Amino acid sequence: MKIKDIIEVLEEMAPLAYAEDFDNVGLLVGDSQSETTGVLVCHDALENVIEEAITKNCNLVVCFHPILFSGIKKITGKNYVERAILKALKNDIAIYAVHTALDNHSQGVNKIFCDALGLTNTKVLIPKLNFIQKLVTYTTPDNSEKVRNAFFEAGAGTIGNYDNCSFNTEGFFTFQGNEESNPVIGERGKLHTGTEIKTEVIFEKHLQSKILKALFSNHIYEEVAYEIYTLENSHQNIGLGMIGELSLEMDEKEFLTFVKDKMIADGIRHSAFLGKKIKKVAVLGGSGSYAIKNAIEAGADVFLTADLKYHQFYEAENKLLLADIGHFESERYTKNYIVDYLRKKILNFAIILSEENTNPVKYL
């Protein structure tokens, strides 16, 4: 099995199109055509993790955080990023990062966070914008079902818990082909009229080329009329953060103690207690200060995230409890999820969970 075959499975788990524009995800180091000897899954692809991969005969390291995040002009080993890359290159080890591609997935980082706390009735906190497109096309009644089914097979027509969704209307058409035309129906040089079916389907934007291939492969016309629009609708099943509910409400201190235990946090910084019960919980793994207002608007009793600055605790505005449980801690079970996913998809192949703790933050 080649590295590219593993990558295909990883992109089923966390499509790269789900990632934020600022992010750097996918294959960061290495040759996708290389044969895979083993896969090591970690949180951060640091030098000690690359060493672990060498020891365990793994030539693919799958990490959550990208070791290469911003531009780099030299690789001389002067810092931890360059040392990790150098060691990987010298030992023919590939590095693949998922990061916000998995952050935005409905079963990704924040669902993992919610599941660790036993939250139910979960939904995305900040649905992704400008991610849904609509295709409209026109064909004969005899051809419309074939085209529509091809769209569904290509991934179009999914809305929440429903698939095979489309809207179809019957209309009246006219056309006249010139001397160079080769019409499937009618004759060149003569005005032709008839009945067509207008079909509309929506799809996630990264599927556009696949949807168009399905259209052109199954449509009968010489010239296929179609339109594609980007919709302003947010995607309710893709986005950052998540909100859910506890089965039983808790006191604030009791709840934070519960979180500390479940997320194995050495310390939790929080805003002032408000003397209210905790039932509705918003989470955002990693740095999530930008989502404080979203958590308030969603009616959360508490917002769990990380990397909050001093003044950002004021933004709780006495409307909810704000808690910083630690960056690593809020994402700690992500690598376990990746390992479990790969082991289910790739049988009889070494998928290894890294034993290295890459959390750079320590508590006294």
The answer to whether 65 is a known ligand-binding residue is yes
The answer to whether 115 is a known ligand-binding residue is no
**Using an 8 Å Cβ cutoff, are 99 and 244 in contact?**
no
The residue count of the chain comes to 364
User: In terms of Cα–Cα distance, which of 80, 85, 51, 45 is closest to 65?
Assistant: 45
**Residue 350 burial (CB < 10 Å; 0-12/13-18/19+)?**
middle
The type of residue at 105 is H
Beta bridge partners of 199: 137, 168
**Using an 8 Å Cβ cutoff, are 38 and 122 in contact?**
no
- Helix, strand, coil: what percent of the chain each, to 5? 30, 30, 40
- The Cα–Cα gap between 15 and 169 comes to 33
Neighbouring CB atoms inside 10 A of 180's CB total 6
**Using an 8 Å Cβ cutoff, are 135 and 239 in contact?**
no
The answer to whether 331 is a known ligand-binding residue is yes
The answer to whether 200 is a known ligand-binding residue is no
User: In terms of Cα–Cα distance, which of 99, 94, 111 is closest to 14?
Assistant: 99
Binding positions are: 65, 103, 327, 331
Binding positions for a divalent metal cation are: 65, 103, 327, 331
